[in-house]
Amino acid sequence: AAKAAGRRQWCRFQPELHTGMLESRALSAQLEEAVRSDEFRLHYQPIVELADDRIVAMEALARWPTRRHGVVLPERFITLAEETGHIVQLGAWVLQRATADLAAWRRSGDWPTPPYVSVNVSARQLHDGGFVAGVRAALESAQLPGEALVLELTESVLMGRHDQVEADLRALKDLGVRLAIDDFGTGYSSLSYLRELPIDVIKIDKSFVRGIARNQQDLRLLEGIIRITDTFGVQLIAEGIETAQQRDLLIEIGCGFGQGYLFSKPVAPGEAERLLVASNDR
Ligand code: C2E
Ligand code: MG
Ligand code: MG
Ligand code: MG
């Protein structure tokens, strides 16, 4: 009976699955070609100190310019790259590109406080044995100290973690690299990570930031989170700040840093450098 049911299901879902697979297989082939022929680009979004709008860092965000579909955004290709495993090569490229860009920016001026770069990392990358070596190589070839780099991890990285991942996170810490939890406040993000893992930064998800301007409970909850993270010496960055009202509330409850369209959208590397220089020259 189970077999019959299984077969019935298979028959029912097979056509849909098939087109889906064809589409993603075609896309997957294009993705592989794109990684090989260096078609990806990085855009950068400033991370600012909320008190004075000064840019302290740039987050690298991958972009895929294509002739047929225009610029493809990460939500479309990152998941696919994770499924196919191409994220390992793509992620290695992102690390190299982002550290090289930051090194060039740092060389182009005198920085009272040198900016850092923040790079998103998928679970699959961390589970690949070569990740720590790749980070070390990227830093070395850019001649940057580990302190110049923040790695943004999501709960999917932390939840499925095993001893090896934990050892790798410690090895990254030994290089001076800082670790951030991205999209905090969505999914299963838990404050217990703070106790168990060497986390330096928490990035509050934009849905949460939207919430605080609308309801007191979200605001009070975030206030509590800030008090806890302060105790742990963890830095807080609010994502997706779009209005001055959101920014002001965040400052009021003691959130130190932010990111969002209010300050700047993600921009091409040349524009990112101009923004950094302008922010530093004030
Ligand atoms: P994320 O790391 O949480 O990045 C923030 C996303 O929010 C970015 O979308 C950014 O453009 C967008 N954003 C920034 N400010 C605002 C705002 O004020 N309002 C709104 N509505 N959105 C804002 P993007 O660039 O499309 O990236 C989406 C996600 O894709 C990223 O979320 C990250 O998880 C992933 N991603 C991007 N680049 C990479 C990469 O190189 N490697 C990996 N593994 N993932 C990446
Ligand atoms: Mg991020
Ligand atoms: Mg995020
Ligand atoms: Mg996100």
Ligand 1 atom with the shortest distance to the CA of 183: 3
| Residue bearing the CA closest to ligand 1, atom 20 | 240
> What's the 3-state SS for 123-138?
HHHHHCCCHHHHHHHH
Cα 241 to ligand 4 centroid, rounded to whole Å: 13
Pairing outcome for strands 54-66 and 70-72: antiparallel
Cα 32 to ligand 4 centroid, rounded to whole Å: 23
d(CA 265, CA 245): 18
Q: Output the pLDDT for position 76.
A: 85
Identity of the residue numbered 265: K
Residue 26 has pLDDT above 50, yes or no: yes
Q: Count Cβ atoms within 10 A of the Cβ of residue 144 and give its class: 0-12 exposed, 13-18 middle, 19 or more buried.
A: buried
* Band of pLDDT at residue 22, cut at 50, 70 and 90: low
The model scores a pTM over 0.90: yes
Residue 46 has pLDDT above 70, yes or no: yes
Cα 207 to ligand 2 centroid, rounded to whole Å: 14
Q: Identify the helix (H) or strand (E) that includes residue 278.
A: helix 269-281
- Residue 185 CB less than 6 A away from ligand 1: no
Percent of the chain whose predicted confidence (pLDDT) is above 90:
64
Q: Which ligand is nearest to the CA of 78?
A: 1
**DSSP state for residue 86 in the 8-state scheme:** T
In terms of average pLDDT, the best of 16-30, 148-162, 209-223 is 209-223
Q: Identify the helix (H) or strand (E) that includes residue 54.
A: strand 54-66
Pairing outcome for strands 41-49 and 54-66: antiparallel
User: How many residues does this entry show for the chain?
Assistant: 282
More confident site: 132 or 188: 132
Percent of the chain whose predicted confidence (pLDDT) is above 70:
90
- Residue 75 CB less than 6 A away from ligand 1: yes
Cα 266 to ligand 1 centroid, rounded to whole Å: 9
* Band of pLDDT at residue 13, cut at 50, 70 and 90: very low
* Band of pLDDT at residue 66, cut at 50, 70 and 90: confident
DSSP lists the bridge partners of residue 119 as 60, 151
d(CA 273, CA 165): 34
- Residue 182 CB less than 6 A away from ligand 1: yes
**Beta-carbon contacts of residue 67 (< 8 Å; ≥ 6 apart):** none
Residue 154 has pLDDT above 70, yes or no: yes
d(CA 229, CA 199): 10
Cα 3 to ligand 2 centroid, rounded to whole Å: 44
d(CA 106, CA 99): 10
- Residue 71 CB less than 6 A away from ligand 1: no
Q: Output the pLDDT for position 189.
A: 67
Give the mean pLDDT of 216-231. Answer: 92
Cα 67 to ligand 3 centroid, rounded to whole Å: 28
Q: Output the pLDDT for position 270.
A: 98
Ligand 1 probe mutation, 78, 181, 189, most atoms within 8 A of CB: 78
- 163-185 pLDDT tens trace: 888 899 999 999 999 999 999 98
3-state DSSP call for residue 47?
Answer: strand
- 255-266 pLDDT tens trace: 999 999 999 999
Half-sphere exposure of 225 (CA within 13 A, CB side): 28
Q: Output the pLDDT for position 20.
A: 55
Nearest Cα residue to 40 out of 12, 7, 78: 78
Q: Output the pLDDT for position 2.
A: 42
Ligand 1 probe mutation, 93, 120, 154, 250, most atoms within 8 A of CB: 120
Q: Output the pLDDT for position 254.
A: 95
- Residue 281 CB less than 6 A away from ligand 1: no
Residue 232 has pLDDT above 60, yes or no: yes
Q: Output the pLDDT for position 21.
A: 52
d(CA 262, CA 254): 18
- Residue 121 CB less than 6 A away from ligand 1: yes
Give the mean pLDDT of 42-65. Answer: 97
Q: Output the pLDDT for position 201.
A: 96
Give the mean pLDDT of 221-239. Answer: 93
Q: What DSSP assignment string belongs to 123-178?
A: HHHHHSTTHHHHHHHHHHHHT--GGGEEEEE-HHHHHT--HHHHHHHHHHHHTT-E
d(CA 241, CA 203): 12
Residue 228 has pLDDT above 50, yes or no: yes
* Band of pLDDT at residue 161, cut at 50, 70 and 90: low
d(CA 87, CA 79): 9
